[in-house]
C-alpha cells in the first residue's frame, strides 16, 4: 500500500477482517454472524445472542444453560468494592467503569492472553461481562447515598441488574425490553471502541485492560453519549406539538440533532426501527409522562426526516435516538446510559479480542509523514 493512500478519520479504510458482524448501510442491514438483527431480537433470547456473538453459532439449550451459569458469578472482587467505596461520588459512571474494570478479573484470568487458549479467555470475558452490571448498579446506588446490593445468582443478568439498582424486582416487560435493547447494541463492526479494544488486545495486554480501552473510547460524545443527548433534547422540546418548530429552528442554525445520522447507514438504522415501537409500548405501560417523551422523539424524527429529504440529505434516526428514553423509563439517570451501552458492548468487544487472538497479529499501521523535510539540528554557537 502506498503512503499516499491515507484518508482523514480512516474513512473507507479496511483495517482488518471479522466474522462477527456486517453492516450494509445502503440497505439498512446489520447482521450478527449472518443473522439480521431484527430477526435475532424477535426470535432469540439475550443469552442466545451472547452465545452467537461470542462463540459464532446460536447456542442450543445445554449451551444456554452453561452460559447462564458462567454469567451468574456477578459478585465484585474485594479490590473493586474498595475502590468503588472510595471514589468521589461525582465521578462519571464511564470513568468508574474504566477504573474498576481492570480490577474485576479473577487471579486466573489476570494472566496475559496465551494464544491458543480460547476457553480460558472466553471464561475471562464472561466473568468480566457478568460483573459490569454489578458495578453500574452499585455506582447508581452509592451516588444516591444507598448501600450497594449483592447480586442474586439465581436471577437472569438484566433482571438482577434492575433489582440491584432499585432494590425491588422489575416486571417481566421491563426485563424483556432491556434484554432486547442490549442485544441490539452488542456489536457493530469496527467502530472506535471496538477498534480500540482490538488494538490493545493485539499487544497481548490482559483482556480486562483491553475492555477498559473500549470504555474510554465509548465515553467520547461522538461515540456513546448521543442517547443521553437525544433524551435531554426530548425533555427540552417538551411535547410533540413543539417538535416541528424546534426542528426547523435547529436546522436553520445548523444545529446537529443528536441521534440522527450515521457514518454507515444511509437509511434508518435497523436498530432504531426495532427500538421505536418497543420503546413506545414500554412507555404506554409506564404512564403518560413516558408516552409524551416518546411521542416527542417520534415527532422530531418524522419532521427531521421530511426536512432532510427535502434538502436531498439521507439522514435518519440511529439507535441512540430512542435508547435513552428506554433507559430513563427503566429508572436510570441520563449520565448512566452510556455505561449500559458498555455493559452490552463488552460481549462484542470481547468477541473481537478472542477473534484476533485466534489468528493473531500485532496492530501497527504506518503513518503518512507530512511534517518538516529532513533538516539538520543547528550546531551550538561557541561563545
Ligand atoms: N442533525 C443535523 N444535521 C446533520 C446531522 C444531524 N444529526 N447529521 C448530519 N447532518 C448534516 C451536517 O450538518 C452536514 O451538513 P452540511 O453538508 O450542510 O454541512 C451533513 O449532514 C453531513 O454531516 P457529517 O457530519 O459530515 O456526516 P457524517 O456521515 O460524517 O456524520 C454523524 C455522521 C453520526 C457524525 C452525524 O450524523 C452526527 O453528528 N449525528 C449526531 C450525533 C449522533 O447521533 N451520533 C451517534 C452516531 S451512532
pTM confidence score? 0.93
Dist. CA 75–CA 64, nearest whole Å: 21
Together in a domain, 200 and 274: no
201: cell is: 488486545
Together in a domain, 160 and 250: no
Domains of the chain: total: 2
pLDDT at 97: 98
Query: Distance, CA 255 to ligand 1 centroid (Å)?
Result: 10
Together in a domain, 30 and 118: yes
pLDDT at 266: 87
Q: CB-based contacts of 230: which residues, under 8 Å, 6+ apart?
A: 258, 259, 297, 320, 321, 322, 323, 324, 325
Whether 256 lines ligand 1, by a CB cut-off of 6 Å, is yes
Structural domain contains residue 10:
no
Dist. CA 252–CA 382, nearest whole Å: 63
Looking at the DSSP assignment, which residues form a beta bridge with residue 30?
A: 23
Per-residue pLDDT of the chain (383 residues; tens, 9 = 90+): 555 689 999 988 999 999 999 999 999 999 999 999 999 999 999 999 999 999 999 999 999 999 999 999 999 999 999 999 999 999 999 999 999 999 998 765 566 777 888 999 999 999 999 999 999 999 999 999 999 999 999 999 999 999 999 999 999 999 999 999 999 999 999 999 999 999 999 999 999 999 999 999 999 888 888 889 999 999 999 999 999 999 999 999 999 999 999 888 988 899 999 999 999 999 999 999 999 999 999 999 999 999 999 999 989 999 999 999 999 999 999 999 999 999 999 999 999 999 999 999 999 999 999 999 999 999 998 87
Whether 320 lines ligand 1, by a CB cut-off of 6 Å, is yes
Dist. CA 258–CA 299, nearest whole Å: 14
Whether 260 lines ligand 1, by a CB cut-off of 6 Å, is yes
Together in a domain, 216 and 283: no
pLDDT at 2: 53
Write down the residue that cell numbers 470504555 correspond to.
Answer: 215
Range of the domain at 267: 226-329
> What length is written for the chain?
383
Q: Within 13 Å and on the Cβ side, how many CA atoms surround 15?
A: 20
Looking at the DSSP assignment, which residues form a beta bridge with residue 35?
A: 32
367: cell is: 503513518
**Ligand 1 atom with least separation from CA of 254:** 13
Q: Residue 99's closest CA among 109, 84, 77, 78? A: 84
Cβ-based burial of 333 (10 A; exposed 0-12, middle 13-18, buried ≥19): middle
Structural domain contains residue 177:
no
Amino acid at each position: 500500500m502506498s503512503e499516499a493512500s491515507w484518508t482523514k478519520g480512516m474513512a473507507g479504510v479496511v483495517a482488518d477482517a471479522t466474522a462477527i458482524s456486517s453492516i450494509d448501510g445502503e440497505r439498512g442491514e446489520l447482521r450478527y454472524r449472518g443473522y439480521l438483527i431484527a430477526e435475532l431480537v424477535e426470535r432469540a433470547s439475550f443469552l442466545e445472542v451472547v452465545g452467537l456473538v461470542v462463540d459464532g453459532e446460536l447456542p442450543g439449550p445445554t449451551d444456554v444453560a452453561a452460559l447462564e451459569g458462567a454469567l451468574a458469578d456477578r459478585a465484585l472482587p474485594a479490590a473493586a468494592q474498595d475502590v468503588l467505596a472510595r471514589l468521589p461520588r461525582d465521578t462519571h459512571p464511564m470513568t468508574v467503569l474504566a477504573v474498576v474494570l481492570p480490577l474485576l478479573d479473577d487471579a486466573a484470568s489476570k494472566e496475559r492472553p496465551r494464544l491458543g487458549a480460547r476457553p480460558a479467555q472466553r471464561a475471562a470475558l464472561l466473568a468480566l461481562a457478568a460483573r459490569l452490571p454489578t458495578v453500574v448498579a452499585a455506582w447508581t446506588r452509592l451516588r444516591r447515598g444507598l448501600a450497594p446490593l449483592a447480586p442474586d445468582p439465581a436471577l437472569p443478568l438484566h433482571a438482577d441488574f434492575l433489582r440491584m439498582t432499585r432494590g425491588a424486582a422489575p416486571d417481566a416487560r421491563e426485563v424483556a425490553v432491556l434484554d432486547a435493547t442490549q442485544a441490539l447494541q452488542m456489536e457493530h463492526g469496527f467502530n472506535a471502541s471496538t477498534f480500540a479494544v482490538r488494538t490493545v488486545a493485539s499487544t497481548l495486554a490482559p483482556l480486562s485492560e483491553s475492555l477498559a480501552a473500549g470504555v474510554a473510547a465509548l465515553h467520547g460524545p461522538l461515540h456513546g453519549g448521543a442517547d443521553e443527548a437525544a433524551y435531554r433534547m426530548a425533555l427540552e422540546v417538551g411535547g410533540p406539538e413543539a417538535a416541528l418548530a424546534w426542528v426547523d429552528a435547529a436546522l436553520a442554525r445548523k444545529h446537529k440533532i443528536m441521534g440522527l445520522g450515521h457514518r454507515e447507514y444511509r437509511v434508518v438504522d435497523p436498530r432504531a426501527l426495532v427500538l421505536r415501537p418497543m420503546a413506545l409500548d414500554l412507555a404506554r405501560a409506564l404512564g403518560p409522562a413516558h408516552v409524551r417523551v416518546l411521542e416527542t422523539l417520534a415527532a422530531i424524527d418524522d419532521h427531521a426526516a421530511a426536512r432532510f429529504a427535502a434538502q436531498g440529505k439521507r439522514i435518519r434516526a440511529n439507535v441512540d435516538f430512542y435508547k435513552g428514553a428506554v433507559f430513563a423509563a427503566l429508572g436510570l439517570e441520563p449520565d448512566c446510559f452510556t455505561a449500559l451501552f458498555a455493559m452490552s458492548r463488552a460481549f462484542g468487544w470481547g468477541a473481537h479480542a478472542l477473534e484476533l487472538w485466534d489468528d493473531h497479529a500485532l496492530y501497527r499501521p504506518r503513518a503518512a509523514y507530512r511534517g518538516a523535510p529532513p533538516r539538520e539540528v543547528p550546531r551550538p554557537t561557541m561563545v
